[in-house]
């Protein structure tokens, strides 16, 4: 029997077409749905049409034991009430835009300023009611013999201050090698900035099991983008060599997080964009690897994007109680958000984020899971 708070794994069979069940009522009376994508070995993902949120992801440890490795709530009400973007699709533009303004083709646009790091206002993750707060149209699919889910959304011109009507498609699909692939695409009828990502928080020991400081991270990035007091990139592409930002060789996330370093102090930990090697690409390439020594779980991140935001749950403060009934404290989850660089629309040397009519925005990311033996 399936319940709202638990996936009951069936190891002998896979559901080729995602199944759906109610996930709760939205304030306007509409019902959010929860879709289960399941593989034959028990690997499974639950995704809501509200915000395109990855609600649960069950991955096995070295003994084959499944655990939910993503932070979040047990029903839609939690996400509506207060969520630091747990598992959600964020857009039109993920990350921060300085001052909530940009100029495009000679016209200045003003966006909502919904974030104030260091007391300095900025636009964050699409604004007050970004894509994480939308009910997407959902279509269960079978893709290459495995479960998939297509989500679509139309963002009208002027929404959150952005120009152009944007039509967005996101497809979540299981892969043959125990991965969750996310394919993003979008078109527009007027020039507009676009940079989509997913904001899943991971803990490979299992959600609600404590901090992630012992997880070991490898990041294929020789440079990162330092930030000012408002967490906006300065425009510099700084070398990670000799700094706490060097994860070219694996390091425990907590090994240097407490070091006296201006950038760590500004971010209250890691909250920085890393410049990926040999990116962007047409197909996803390996960007990062995280391993958790006690369970043996491993997560690899592959992407076509030129950057990835590494965030260490710095603003989790114990006020949110997650699915397992445990409060989420600082450092209880980490994010690896594949992206174009923050504030690219105001930084001409950064990768371009402007989508124009006749073009199609495309991006792909894979979160792939395995276990050490």
pLDDT 10s digits, 23-79? 999 999 999 999 999 998 899 999 999 999 999 999 999 999 999 999 999 999 999
CA gap 238, 245 in Å, rounded: 10
For residue range 300-350, what is the model confidence (pLDDT) as tens digits? 999 999 999 999 999 999 999 999 999 999 999 999 999 999 999 999 999
- pLDDT score at 9: 37
pLDDT value of residue 278? 76
pLDDT tier for residue 1 given thresholds of 50, 70 and 90 = very low
Tell me, yes or no, if 261 is annotated catalytic. no
Residue 4 has pLDDT above 80, yes or no: no
Q: What is the pLDDT of residue 373?
A: 85
If you write DSSP's letter for every residue of 284-306 in order, what string do you get? Answer: -EEEEEEE-TTT-EEEEEEESSS
Is-contact 37 142, C-beta < 8 A? Answer: no
Burial grade of 237 (CB within 10 A; 0-12, 13-18, 19 or more): middle
Total domains in the fold of the chain: 1
- State pLDDT tens for residues 88-136: 999 999 999 999 999 999 999 999 999 999 999 999 999 999 999 999 9
The Cα–Cα gap between 344 and 190 comes to 18
For the chain, give the mean pLDDT: 94
What's the pLDDT score for residue 277?
84
Which tokens is 321 given?
């109680």
What is the arithmetic mean of pLDDT over 237-251? 98
**Is residue 6 assigned to a domain?**
no
**Choice among 123, 125, 160, 199 that is catalytic:** 199
* % of the chain beyond a pLDDT of 90: 93
For 147-157, what is the mean pLDDT? 98
Of 160, 305, 337, 340, which residue is the catalytic one?
A: 337
Decide if 337 is catalytic: yes
Instruction: Give the total residue count for the chain.
Output: 373
HSE, side-chain direction, 13 A CA sphere, residue 78: 21
Single out the residue of 62, 64, 82, 63 nearest to residue 72, CA to CA. Answer: 82
Q: What is the pLDDT of residue 281?
A: 84
Domain-embedded: residue 4: no
- Is 258 part of any domain? yes
For range 244-267, the mean pLDDT: 97
Nearest Cα neighbor of 303 from 269, 273, 263, 332 is 273
For 190-241, write each residue's pLDDT tens digit: 999 999 999 999 999 999 999 999 999 999 999 999 999 999 999 999 999 9
3 domain-assigned? no
- Cα separation, 291 vs 205, in Å, equals 10
The verdict on residue 5 lying in a domain is no
Model's pTM, two decimal places? 0.94
Is 1 within a domain? no
CATH code of residue 335: 2.70.98.10
SS (H, E, C) 133-157: HCECEEEEEEECCEEEEEEEEEECC
Residue 194 covered by a domain: yes
List phi, psi (to 5°) of 49: -75, -15
Show the domain range for 236. 19-371
In a domain, 134, yes or no: yes
């Amino acid at each position: 029997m399936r319940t709202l708070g638990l996936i009951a794994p069936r190891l002998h069979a896979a559901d080729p077409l995602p199944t759906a069940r109610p996930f709760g009522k939205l304030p306007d009376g509409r019902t959010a749905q929860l879709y289960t994508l399941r593989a034959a070995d028990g690997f499974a993902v639950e995704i809501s049409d509200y915000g395109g949120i990855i609600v649960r992801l069950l991955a096995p440890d070295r003994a084959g034991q499944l655990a939910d490795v993503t932070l979040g709530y047990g029903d839609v009400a939690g996400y509506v009430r207060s969520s630091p973007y747990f598992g959600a699709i964020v857009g039109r533009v993920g990350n921060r835009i300085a001052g909530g303004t940009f100029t495009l083709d000679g016209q200045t646009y003003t966006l909502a300023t919904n974030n104030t790091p260091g007391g300095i206002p900025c636009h964050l993750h699409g604004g007050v009611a970004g894509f994480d707060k939308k009910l997407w149209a959902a279509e269960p699919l079978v893709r290459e013999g495995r479960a998939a889910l297509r989500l679509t959304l139309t963002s009208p011109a002027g929404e959150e201050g952005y120009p152009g009507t944007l039509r967005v498609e996101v497809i979540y699909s299981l892969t043959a090698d125990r991965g969750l692939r996310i394919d993003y695409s979008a078109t527009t009828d007027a020039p507009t900035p676009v940079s989509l990502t997913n904001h899943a928080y991971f803990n490979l020991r299992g959600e609600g099991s404590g901090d992630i400081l012992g997880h070991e991270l490898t990041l294929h990035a020789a440079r990162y983008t330092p930030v000012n007091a408002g967490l906006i990139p300065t425009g510099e592409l700084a070398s990670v060599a000799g700094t706490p930002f060097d994860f070219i060789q694996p390091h425990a996330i907590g090994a240097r997080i407490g070091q006296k370093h201006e950038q760590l102090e500004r971010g209250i930990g890691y909250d920085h964009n890393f410049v990926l090697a040999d990116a962007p690409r047409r197909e996803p390439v390996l960007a990062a690897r995280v391993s958790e020594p006690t369970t043996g779980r491993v997560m690899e991140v592959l992407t076509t994007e030129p950057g990835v935001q590494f965030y260490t749950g710095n603003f989790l403060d114990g006020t949110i109680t997650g699915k397992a009934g445990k409060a989420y404290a600082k450092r209880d989850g980490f994010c690896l958000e594949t992206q174009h660089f923050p504030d690219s629309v105001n930084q001409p040397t950064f990768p371009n984020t402007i989508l124009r009519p006749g073009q199609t925005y495309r991006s792909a990311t894979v979160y792939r899971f395995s276990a050490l033996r």
